[in-house]
Amino acid sequence: MKNVLSVAGSDSGGGAGIQADLKTMCALGVYGMTAITAVTAQNTQAVYEVQEIDVSAVAAQISAVFADIRVDAVKTGMVSNAPVIRAVRDSLLRFGARNVVVDPVMVSKSGYPLLRREAVGVMHELVAIADVVTPNIPEAELLAGFPIRDEDDLRRAAEKIASSGAKSVLIKGGHRFGSDVADVLLTAGRFVRIEGERLDAAHTHGTGCTLSAAIACRLALGDSAEEAARAAKAYVTQAIRDAYALGHGTGPVGHLAALYRRAGVGTGE
């Protein structure tokens, strides 16, 4: 069994953050562990409040895991302020963390800011130690410092982000217009398009968290960055097809739908 650590925020609605990561890890056959950076009060409609966890407690959670358990991969998600970003980076460097996937979470799907504005520049310090960094297009624009209007801009942004030190950069294509939702991966000095299908789906809460967690799982299991990105894209696409119409807003993707089907359990209300 491979062991994967998620360093991220808690979603009380269960569709994103730590909860999505753990469900993804279960679905992909690894053992999931957590270091919680923030507690959010949210549901399928909105984020209502965020309580950041004290930086010393974040560092202590990471230390407790590494001191006792072999960690085969790490995924970072919501790290909302500069002290926490630096504490996470320093902890991962101190323990020689492998297969580090950085999801530079900045804004919730409902539009709530999850990264303090003054910490955007500091995010580069965490990106610098990533084996794979997974921004969406708005996040890539902030990290690169210029707007992305076309494929050339997207590739330039990936190169700019990689210049921070990240080994591989995956810019997610969900914010593209039209039918093209291909992700673009810069790895080993070359660009790879990870093709996908734009689904007419109402329930997509947690897709970014799920993708980055899936990549971490696949890296822990021995995949290359490209293999992990392709497998993660396929998993998320199926999870969107299996999305759960929960609550009155944007419901979560179906992280565990395949296991539920195997067990003869439905997800209908």
Coil/strand/helix, residue 226: helix
Active site residue 26: no
Catalytic, out of 172, 210, 237, 250: 172
Catalytic, out of 187, 204, 210, 237: 204
Catalytic, out of 13, 44, 75, 209: 209
* Cβ atoms of 43 and 206 closer than 8 Å: no
Catalytic, out of 13, 208, 251, 254: 208
Active site residue 206: yes
Catalytic, out of 24, 37, 134, 207: 207
Secondary structure (H, E, C), 135-196: CCHHHHHHHHCCCCCCHHHHHHHHHHHHCCCCCEEEECCCCCCCCCCCEEEEECCEEEEECC
Sheet holding 168-171, edge to edge: 47-52, 31-42, 3-11, 73-76, 100-102, 132-133, 168-171, 183-187, 190-194
Active site residue 207: yes
Q: What Å distances lie between residue 126 and 28, 81, 147, 202, 230, CA to CA?
A: 25, 12, 22, 32, 24
Active site residue 208: yes
Active site residue 209: yes
Catalytic, out of 17, 32, 173, 206: 206
Q: Which residues are catalytic?
A: 172, 204, 206-209
